[in-house]
Structure 1
């Protein structure tokens, strides 16, 4: 099981990462602004629940590596750590000024928008690699059952993403206007996220 401090530290970083401008939350924002609150919420919940498929892959794959091949697990840590550092550098180099796609699609049902968000997240290979890199950072092997810890962390990530994406869809109009009036806000959010990614990546590489 997860300890309270383990859960809180993970949740803090997960919320920061989820709130940072990226493909998923910008799609939710654009959907809410162009379609309406209910549509934005439906799409956002689909994106959030798509994380469950990545949680399963992480729990099965990483736990198998821990049990069967310490060398492969070490390689995964290095690859994952370098990937997180690369993401951080990309965010630090970003100019901010994120653009929302205003090209809206034709009217869709809430169920259809939910399914679209679910599939868009579930089939994204970058999200798979991110989960394989990010979740193990907060696993404590001495607590036992690595697979269960990964699963619980993935559920916690999914839950906070569902809340944030639903709120983003609901307040899309106001948030979109705020970002438009303050283009440098996205720049500073990128800088913060970049430092978090680099720090996590270096921690993963140097961890024994």
Structure 2
């Protein structure tokens, strides 16, 4: 699945959020993506002692470079950054590049990392140049953030009920109109690539 190169990588950004069942769902999405993509930022509800090993496992099985996010580092094409457990991951823009912002501020929706924190930041800094994906998980974290992304012009995807371990977060997103499309997990990687092949929205 080759990706053509008409994209301004510094302008595009992919954001993924998940909770219960998300480790395997994220693995499946990343495994289906080619290396030559814009930077990917990920918020998965997970204790801090597990996020680094999770990122390392993904790195061994994916074409992308996957690592735990470090505060202030530049978000590079071909790389995916996992929010450290017990820390929020947001994105800021500086000098034409995206940078990771890792913080220990208060939990949001009872979670840290919170998917809403990540998605809302991406909506602010990337707007229509972003793709947002909300995967399996309990509760509603990420639904409001995905809606903000869609309202900012981003292309947004929610995982469908049949392929979810827990159809909570994606259902909330679908019910409030946050998702441009609701898709089976297996269809999501190709859809991300298809969207990125199009002109900037």
Flag the structure with higher helix content: 1
Instruction: Tell me if TM exceeds 0.5.
Output: no
TM norm structure 2: 0.29
Larger of the two Rg values belongs to structure: 1
